[in-house]
Structure formats: structure tokens, C-alpha cells
Structure 1
Amino acid sequence: MFYLKNNSFKLATAGVMAFALTGLLAPATASAALVTGNATITINNSVFASSSVNVAAGYPNGWIVTKHWGASDNLTGITAATTGGTTLATTGNTAMSFPVNTNTTTNNYPGSGTYGRTEQATTMDASNTSAGQIGLSGAWLLTSPGGSGVLAPYDFKVQKTAGTWNIATFDNAFGSQNFLKLTNVAESLNGSGQLLLSGDLVWTGLWAGLTGANTSTVVGTFNLAPAAVPVPAAVWMFGSGLLGLLGAARRKSVIAA
């Protein structure tokens, strides 16, 4: 009897393993792998300010990032009077989180603030970064210590044009405008085919023109980390099935003894 039960156990184990491996080894369906995850932008306000000193324009101490708002404030109009957000230190490094948007078409909210707000779409395939864009949630308020006026870059998107990665802003008055450029870029795919992207940041585009900022001084860093890949259901099925059969084998061994 023990011999027959043991053979039954072996056959059952083989069946579970074959079923699980079929799911694990089945060819994947080809599909676009949109960029996912979270971007961390670290700004050194000391350098950010010194790189944007423009006495003639009325910015004797340059500009600093004063506040940061996250994804929960995507529909909030950003002005000097806007409450909430996180206040940054006026000197040194501060790291800020900008989640990658999951919407594949841009959501427009023209009634949010003077110039409206948007949630920029993510349309970039991780395997083809020369096309599409990565939408990021978040907003900043820039102020000029000892100067006048405020600037509010928000509704960011990351895209590569002619081989150069830029972080651009968007509002309904000025449209899409490059703000920060990535230099010393490291771009690759991980084992799951997800985009890894990092680099140093310098002023660029309209924003550099508005502030008179130096476009070669590194003012911070950018790092995109992909979202975690869920474990396939077949793996869980294989593990739970194998544990169940091992438990059954132990009980049968006790009975046979």
C-alpha cells in the first residue's frame, strides 16, 4: 500500500510541476511596456540660487525652490498664496518624489488656477525612448530671495529630443517649455524590461531665459526607479501546490510507518 501511495504522490507532484511550468514558460504576448515608477529629483538650493543670479533683472540672489507639491495636489492652482506642500531648506540638497503618471492621455483642468493644470500623459515605451513622453505628478514654487516675483513650474513631462533628455513644464498660457536638461545620462533596461534613467540637471529653455540662469552648472540630480513587477500567478500556484503535496507526503509517511 505504501508503494502505491508513494507512486501516486510522485505522479501528482509531476502533474502540478508540469502545469505550473506551462504557465511560467508560456510565450509572453508582445505588448508595449509603458514607463512606470517614481522619479526622484534632488535640488541643491545653494547652487540653484548661485546659478541664477541676475542683478540687472532684479534677482541679486538668484532663485530657489521654495515649495514642492505632490500628486495629491495635481488639480491645485499654484501661486505664491497656495497653501500646503512641503517647504524646502533654502540651502543644501532636498530630494523630492514625482510619481510617473499612469494616464495615457493628458487630463486637462483649465479651471485649476490662473493658467490651468494638467496631468501629463505617459506614452513612452521603455524599449523605445526616442518617442513619447513620461508624465510626472508634482509642482514647484520658485522665489527670488531679495528680489521680486515668483515662478511656478508644474505638470512636468520627461522626453528625449534628438538624443537629449529634458524635463519640460506645461500650462495653458505658455504651453510646453523645457525647464531642466539631463546631462551625464545613464539609461538602461532592467531584467524586466523597465526603464532606468538618471543624470545631472542643468537649467535650460525658456526657464533659463526668464531667470538668466547659467545653463552649464549642475543644480541637482534626476533618478527614475521603475515600479515593482508583480510575481506571476503561476509561481504562486506552483509554490502552494508543492507545499500541499509535501504535506500530504509527510502524512502518508507517518501512516506507513
Structure 2
Amino acid sequence: MKNLKLATAGVFAFTALTGLLAPVTASAALVSGNATITIDNPAFIASNFYSNYVEKFWDASNNNLGITGATSGGTTLSLVGNTAMLFPVNTNLVTTTCPACGPYGRTLQATDMDATNTSVGQIGLSGAWRINGPGGVLTPYDFRLVKTAGTWNISTYDTAFGYQNFLKLANVSESLNGNGELLLSGDLKWTGLWASLAGANTNAVVGTFNLAPAAVPVPAAVWMFGSGLIGLLGVSRRKAVVAA
């Protein structure tokens, strides 16, 4: 009888622990999560007439920084391999502007796209790049992701040119996970005005894109609770053995 009680207690403890430690993700109708853009610089260099490359990346924490050929800081990309860059999806519902941030201003692009209807709205992805090389300096920044006529495009914004398509997704995989959150991935190719400025081959794959939900970290208290359950189970088992 004691062994039966012990086994039952163990099952309850294990069920409680696994339930608490199960992966948790944010649940919302609007698109959320993190986008990872990976640039293959050798392919990028080969794809454009001027052999330009993506030199630097500034993340969302530098969203008020004016990006020019002289801007310092940022993360330097590899010239001989792939570099992955994280773009958390913006949570603001309305695009905000900072006209005085740099020569052409900066914006925090809104996210107002419903994960179940990706033909409407946009996904804001703050960040900035500097493209450098023999063809001079280009500074695409303040990205947004929009689906137009079935094609996903990453566009940029500045006060000189407005919204301009920069990269498009090819070989796209688009779905919803069990929580109704958008999963999106594909290859990246040049497109739009930026392709024209760089004299780029719009059929060349220069990187990859992946959007996935952001996992919510498990609180430390949960781990402590789980450890306590396991400890109590061990004590109960030892007592049962002694009593036997």
C-alpha cells in the first residue's frame, strides 16, 4: 500500500514538474517574436556590380542613431562567411518618427499584422546596416516586412526616399504554430530601388530569413519548486524503504 502511495505521489510530482517546465510562448493575434537575418557576404559581394558588402549592423538599441559612412560602433560582419543578426519584432502599433536622428531621420516601424491574415499590415523590425565597398556607402535601415501580391518584401524607410523595397523572400515557408503564432522563413534576394542602386542580380540568394516566436524564460522559482518536489519524493522513498 505504501509503495502504491509512493508511486502515485511520484506521478503527481512528475506531472506537475513537466507542466511547469513546458515551453511557454507569448500568445497574441499580432505577429510577435524574433527575426533572424543571416547574410552570406561572399554571395552578397558576388551578387552586385560594385562588389559591395554588408559592413556593419546596428541593433534596435541604436534606433535613434543617424547612420552614415562615418558612424562608429555597431557589429562588424564577416567578409568570408555568414553573419546572423537578431531583429526583435517591434511591439508598437503606430510608427513613430525621429526626424532629427541623422541626416535622413529614423523611425520605429509599427507592427500591426495579424498572424492569421498576413496579406494586411506590416511587421516592424528595427535595425540598421551599412553597405560599403568600391561602389560607395549605402545605409538601409528601419526595416519593415510587408506581403504584397503574395511576395514578402523587406523594405526600408528614410525621409529622402520614403519606403523602398530592399530584399525579398524566396522559397518561403509560412505557417502558424500551435499557439497561432506566425512562423516564416525563406531565402533573401535583392529587389527594388536598392537592387538598382547596387546593380544587383535579383536572382542571387544573398542570405536567409527566419521569424519565430520568442520563448518566455522559465522563472527561477519554478526550477526551485521542481527541485523541491524531487527532493520530497526522494525523502518519501527512503522512509518507505526504512519502514519496510
Q: 1:159-218, CA deviations, whole angstroms, 9 ceiling, x for partnerless residues?
A: 111110010001111111100000000111122221111100100011111112111111
What is the CA–CA distance in structure 2 between the aligned matches of 1:161 and 1:229, rounded to whole Å? Answer: 31
- 8 Å contact 1:100–1:134 — kept in the other structure? no
1:144: Cα distance to partner? Answer: 2.2
What is the CA–CA distance in structure 1 between the aligned matches of 2:38 and 2:166, rounded to whole Å? Answer: 15
TM-score with structure 1 setting the length: 0.73
1:134: Cα distance to partner? Answer: 0.9
Question: After the TM superposition, which parts of structure 1 deviate over 3 Å for at least 4 consecutive aligned residues?
Answer: none
Q: 1:46-78, CA deviations, whole angstroms, 9 ceiling, x for partnerless residues?
A: 11112111xxxxxxx421101111111111000
1:239: Cα distance to partner? Answer: 8.1
- Count of residue pairs brought into register by the alignment: 234
In structure 2, the partner of 1:98 is: 86
In structure 2, the partner of 1:156 is: 143
1:137 maps to a residue whose letter is S
In structure 1, the partner of 2:193 is: 206
1:107: Cα distance to partner? Answer: 1.6
In structure 2, the partner of 1:87 is: 76
In structure 2, the partner of 1:8 is: none
Q: 1:74-105, CA deviations, whole angstroms, 9 ceiling, x for partnerless residues?
A: 11000010000011222x33323233343333
In structure 1, the partner of 2:19 is: none
| Structure 2 CA distance for partners of 1:193 and 1:114, relative to 1, 3 Å | same
> Superposition RMSD on alpha carbons, in Å?
3.7
Q: Does 1:166 align with 2:162?
A: no
| Structure 2 CA distance for partners of 1:220 and 1:168, relative to 1, 3 Å | same
1:195 maps to a residue whose letter is L
Q: Does 1:43 align with 2:45?
A: no
In structure 1, the partner of 2:13 is: none
Mapping of 1:60-71 within 5 angstroms? 61-71=50-60
1:117: Cα distance to partner? Answer: 0.4
TM-score with structure 2 setting the length: 0.77
2:39 maps to a residue whose letter is I
| Structure 2 CA distance for partners of 1:32 and 1:42, relative to 1, 3 Å | closer
- 8 Å contact 1:140–1:153 — kept in the other structure? yes
- 8 Å contact 2:90–2:109 — kept in the other structure? no
| Structure 2 CA distance for partners of 1:95 and 1:226, relative to 1, 3 Å | farther
Larger radius of gyration: 1
Identity of aligned residues (%): 66
What is the CA–CA distance in structure 1 between the aligned matches of 2:109 and 2:88, rounded to whole Å? Answer: 9
In structure 1, the partner of 2:170 is: 183
1:98 maps to a residue whose letter is L
- 8 Å contact 1:121–1:134 — kept in the other structure? yes
In structure 2, the partner of 1:57 is: none
Q: Does 1:52 align with 2:42?
A: no
The runs of 5 or more residues in structure 2 that have no matched partner are: 1-8, 10-15, 17-26
Residue number among 112, 127, 130 corresponding to 2:116 in the alignment:
127
Aligned partner of residue 199 in structure 1, secondary structure: strand
Residue number among 120, 124, 132 corresponding to 1:143 in the alignment:
132
